[in-house]
Amino acid sequence: MVNEQKKVMMEVKNINLRFGGVIAIQDVSFDIQEGEIRAIIGPNGAGKSSMLNVINGFYHPQEGEIWFRGEKRPSMEPYEVAKTGIARTFQNIALFKGMTTIENVMTGRQLQMNKNFFWQLFRYGPAIEEEVEHRRRCEEIIDFLEINHIRKSPVGSLPYGLQKRVELARALAMEPELLLLDEPMAGMNVEEKQDMSRFIIDVNEEFGTTIALIEHDMAVVMDLADRVVVLDYGKMLADGTPKEVQSNQAVIDAYLGVAH
């Protein structure tokens, strides 16, 4: 596929993140182009999740800039970042355990719903119309991810693979422009991984959502990703297409170790 000069959606520049004396991320820069699937890989503790947390606004890096849609982003709190159209799933499932699947997906619509407290109080007129309208959108997403049968089940009792899928549904309900997936396939069997990969590609192609994902399964990463960033000990090792990264000596050393 010829990569005709795509627009850059997000760019992180020279990010430095420290916790006291621990350097989590050191001078990392990369960009995410519109409509691509961008993978971030690296051994454990490489700073991948920290990177997502920086993008999300959970961590505020000591140095560095984040550019989103051509503008430098000021320091933001997570709920402000959510408004700019960035959604995310978690490494450890972070579903709302006390709610059912449909309610969990509905929570993703939180920002799109805006009828005020007094309409909510009487649940009448605009408030109920809004509820119905967003319910319809959520049902579409539930259809898309094939989780209709667990619509009314409390999420706590679902098997792991389905919980991950519900989390993806919740993130999709936000209709994000940039979707961050933190190990979407951790702990899944081959079949579940295949399903998940298919959903990720479908999301990317049908909704045109830009995706940045962290994953440990190299086969999956190399098949899915358009471009890959490799981190190790908070530093950036390589950035390029899966093929380039695979043949990079520094990456091979980091993953396999070097003979002393």
Partner 1 sequence: MYFRETGQFKSKYKEELAAFPIFEDKIGIAIAALLAFVLIPIFGLPGLSWDFTMSAVMIPVVIFTITTLGLNILLGFAGQISLGTAAFMGVGAYSCYKIMTIFPDLNALICVVLSGVVTAFVGTIFGLPSLRIKGFYLMVATLAAQFFLEWAFIRIPWLYNYNISGAIEVPYKEMFGIVLTGAKSEPLTRYFVCLGFLVVLTWLASNVIRGRIGRSWMMIRDMDIAAELIGVRPLTAKLSAFAFSSFYIGISGALMVFFWLGAAEVESFDINHSFTYLFMVIIGGLGSITGCYFGAILVWVVPVILKEYGKSVFGIDAFVMENFTTILLGVVMVVILIVEPHGLARIWQIAKQKLRLWPFPY
Binder among 27, 31, 34, 131 for partner 1 (CB under 8 A)? 131
What is the number of other CB atoms lying within 10 angstroms of the CB of residue 243?
10
φ/ψ of 195, rounded to 5, equals -60, -50
Residues 26-45 that bind partner 1 (CB under 8 A): none
Pattern 158-177, partner 1, x by CB under 8 A: ------------x---x---
74: contact with partner 1 by CB under 8 A: no
Report the residue from 15, 32, 41, 87 that binds partner 1 according to the rule CB under 8 A: 87
Q: Which is closer to partner 1, CB of 70 or CB of 156?
A: 156
The token duo for 27 is 């001078």
CA 84 to chain centre: 14
Please pick, from the candidates 27, 103, 195, 226, the single residue that binds partner 1 as defined by CB under 8 A.
Answer: 103
Q: What are the backbone angles phi and psi of residue 175, rounded to the nearest 5°?
A: 50, 60
Span of 16-24, 123-131, 210-218, 244-252 interacting with partner 1 by CB under 8 A:
123-131
- Contact between 154 and partner 1 per CB under 8 A: no
Is 60 an interacting residue with respect to partner 1 (CB under 8 A)?
no
Counting contacts by CB under 8 A, is residue 149 touching partner 1?
Answer: no
Please identify which residue in 9, 55, 106, 251 interacts with partner 1, judged by CB under 8 A.
106
Helices (H), 31-173: 48-56, 78-83, 101-107, 117-122, 126-144, 160-173
Amino acid at 232: D
At position 163, the amino acid (one-letter code) is Q
Q: What is the H or E stretch that residue 201 is in?
A: helix 190-202
Q: Which is nearer to partner 1, 133 or 223 (CB)?
A: 133
37-41 and 210-214 strand pairing:
parallel
**Distance, CA of 1 to chain centre:** 24
Q: What's the rounded Cα separation, in Å, for the pair 49 and 28?
A: 13
Q: By CB under 8 A, name the binding residues for partner 1.
A: 56, 58, 77-79, 81-83, 87-88, 90, 94-99, 103, 106-108, 110-111, 113, 115, 117, 120-123, 127-128, 130-132, 135-136, 170, 174
